């Protein structure tokens, strides 16, 4: 019997990689839904290739301009996720949620009850809305698999093990595009330098997050949420080769190391075919890299963003939404050449130390609307401060 699946964010890198995997096994899958924000051309092409009858294009302008193209191909096109209940009349076997940013929060939570398994590649959703997701997963008895290479590695390494047996977990970071840059040159970092990741093919936003290392701060928060482990048991290690993705030290003295090639195809493939004997062709063990791991502690002077970990509340609050919203806005301003690279972290810390936003450490999200409203508010406040030069 064919597996019924849906892909939220099918035109992004995660969605495209998943479709490449499915294309080699097309007879085994029935794709019920594909979604995108703006990229109608890629969405239409995917729908035709995989014979998908339902798609969602959330950008209003592109939806209105191009909906006739889909209708001519007898593809039903919708503009928002309220239509999911009409599209999915039988519980899906698998959903991939790979919508970028906080836009992915509401669709992810909405679709959980329609699937037996959900794989989530959206950092912001897990960081800001984990308690909401966890409640929905429990209520609907839906299985969850993280997609990020680090968290999939931890999930795989901890499968069927008692999490109380963990002494420490280690997440690895390549150091990003600026790892070898002298500290005195950070003030002159260009966009091209910040987005030129040495190991991974990634979008501009995530590449800049890798350059500041806030992406690894995010991953620490995700690990704490997903595996219900305290921050003092999670550590970041610099590993320039990106071959090892996670290490787990157990209370009994054993250490488990999870490694794989620097390709997202491996974790994505395994979220789809976990608990099967399906084989993925991969390279032989890289002995040269294993003999030269060069693992290092993070240099706080080089990556001051890591100090954010000291600001985090022990329980999930709306403060994480403040961090994500502010950073997203500042990276956007950097990519538009409105602020310097070094001002991303400077402005972020100034905002997070202000009384106006410190109060959110004690406020917990009750629903998705709390998170979405705060995201808009933080963005507007930050833009106002930056453009008025209040931060500079």
Give the pLDDT confidence score for residue 154 in this predicted structure: 96
Model confidence pLDDT, tens digit, residues 33-48 = 999 999 999 999 999 9
The answer to whether residues 132 and 163 belong to one domain is no
Model confidence pLDDT, tens digit, residues 155-175 = 999 987 888 899 999 999 998
The residue out of 98, 126, 147 marking a domain boundary is 147
Provide the domain limits for residue 374.
Answer: 316-392
Asked if 231 and 312 touch (Cβ cutoff 8 Å), the reply is yes
The answer to whether residues 176 and 305 belong to one domain is yes
Residue 271 maps to a domain: no
The residue out of 98, 129, 147 marking a domain boundary is 147
Give the pLDDT confidence score for residue 277 in this predicted structure: 82
Asked if 356 and 303 touch (Cβ cutoff 8 Å), the reply is no
Asked if 136 and 201 touch (Cβ cutoff 8 Å), the reply is no
Q: How many whole angstroms separate alpha carbon 368 and alpha carbon 119?
A: 19
Give the pLDDT confidence score for residue 389 in this predicted structure: 64
Write 334-337 long-range contacts (CB < 8 A, 24+): 334/191, 334/194, 334/208, 335/191, 335/204, 335/205, 335/208, 337/191
The answer to whether residues 159 and 235 belong to one domain is yes
- pTM summary value: 0.93
Residue 272 maps to a domain: no
The fraction of the chain above a pLDDT of 90, given in percent, is 83
Non-local CB neighbours of 361 within 8 Å, separated by 6+ positions: 313, 317, 319
The answer to whether residues 181 and 289 belong to one domain is yes
Q: Is residue 130 over pLDDT 70?
A: yes
Q: How many whole angstroms separate alpha carbon 50 and alpha carbon 42?
A: 12
Q: How many whole angstroms separate alpha carbon 347 and alpha carbon 328?
A: 12
Asked if 262 and 282 touch (Cβ cutoff 8 Å), the reply is no
Please report how many Cα atoms fall inside a 13 Å half-sphere around the Cα of residue 131, on the Cβ side. Answer: 14
Model confidence pLDDT, tens digit, residues 246-282 = 999 999 999 999 999 999 999 999 999 988 888 898 9
The fraction of the chain above a pLDDT of 70, given in percent, is 99
Q: What angle do CA 215, 161, 233 make, to 5 degrees?
A: 40
The answer to whether residues 297 and 334 belong to one domain is no
The answer to whether residues 215 and 358 belong to one domain is no
Give the pLDDT confidence score for residue 365 in this predicted structure: 95
Residue 254 maps to a domain: yes
The answer to whether residues 61 and 105 belong to one domain is yes
Model confidence pLDDT, tens digit, residues 62-85 = 999 999 999 999 999 999 999 999
Residue 181: exposure state from Cβ atoms within 10 A (0-12, 13-18, ≥19): middle
The CATH number assigned to the domain holding 352 equals: 1.10.1740.10
The answer to whether residues 114 and 191 belong to one domain is no
Closest CA relative to residue 148, chosen from 97, 87, 188: 97
Number of domains in the chain: 3
Model confidence pLDDT, tens digit, residues 362-388 = 999 999 999 999 999 999 999 988 777
The residue out of 147, 170, 185 marking a domain boundary is 147
The answer to whether residues 342 and 249 belong to one domain is no
What is the residue whose two structure tokens read 């309220």?
A: 82
The answer to whether residues 185 and 117 belong to one domain is no
Residue 302 maps to a domain: yes
The answer to whether residues 288 and 346 belong to one domain is no
b/e per residue, 130-153, with b = 16+ CB within 10 A? bebbbebbeeeebebbbbbbbbbb
Residue 227 maps to a domain: yes
Residue 333 maps to a domain: yes
pLDDT category at 391 given cuts 50, 70, 90 is: low
Residue 18 maps to a domain: yes
Residue 16 maps to a domain: yes
Taking the CB of residue 350, how many other CB atoms lie within 10 A of it? 16
Give the pLDDT confidence score for residue 390 in this predicted structure: 52
């Amino acid at each position: 019997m064919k597996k019924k699946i849906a892909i939220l964010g099918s035109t992004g890198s995660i969605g495209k990689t998943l479709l490449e995997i499915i294309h080699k096994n097309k007879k085994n899958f029935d794709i019920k839904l594909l979604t995108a924000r703006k990229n109608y051309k890629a969405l239409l092409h995917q729908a035709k290739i995989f014979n998908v009858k339902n798609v969602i294009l959330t950008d209003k302008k592109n939806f209105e301009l191009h909906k006739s193209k889909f209708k001519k191909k007898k593809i039903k096109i919708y503009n928002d996720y309220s239509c999911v209940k009409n599209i999915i009349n039988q519980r899906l076997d698998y959903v991939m949620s790979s919508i970028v940013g906080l836009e992915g929060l509401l669709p992810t939570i909405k679709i959980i009850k329609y699937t037996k398994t959900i794989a989530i590649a959206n950092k912001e959703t897990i960081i800001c809305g984990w308690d909401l997701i966890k409640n929905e997963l429990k209520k609907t008895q839906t299985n969850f698999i993280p997609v990020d290479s680090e968290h999939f590695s931890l999930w795989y390494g901890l499968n069927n093990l008692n999490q109380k047996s963990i002494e420490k977990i280690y997440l690895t970071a390549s150091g990003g595009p600026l790892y070898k840059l002298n500290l005195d040159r950070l003030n002159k970092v260009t966009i091209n330098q910040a987005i030129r990741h040495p190991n991974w093919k990634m979008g501009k936003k995530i590449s800049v997050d890798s350059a500041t290392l806030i992406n690894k701060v995010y991953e620490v928060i995700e690990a704490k949420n997903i595996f219900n482990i305290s921050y003092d048991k999670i550590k970041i290690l610099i590993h320039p080769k990106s071959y090892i993705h996670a290490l787990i030290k157990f209370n009994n003295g054993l250490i488990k190391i999870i490694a794989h090639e620097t390709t997202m195809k491996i974790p994505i493939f395994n979220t789809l075919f976990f608990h099967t004997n399906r084989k993925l062709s991969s390279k032989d063990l890289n002995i040269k890299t294993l003999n030269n791991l060069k693992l290092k502690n993070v240099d706080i002077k080089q990556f001051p963003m890591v100090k954010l970990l000291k600001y985090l509340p022990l329980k999930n609050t709306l403060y994480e939404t403040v961090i994500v919203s502010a950073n997203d806005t500042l990276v956007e301003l950097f990519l538009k050449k409105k602020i310097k690279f070094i001002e991303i972290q400077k402005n972020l810390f100034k905002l997070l130390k202000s009384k106006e936003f410190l109060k959110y450490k004690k406020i917990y999200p009750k629903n998705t609307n709390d998170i979405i409203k705060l995201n808009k508010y933080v963005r507007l406040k930050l833009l106002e401060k930056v453009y008025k030069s209040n931060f500079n």
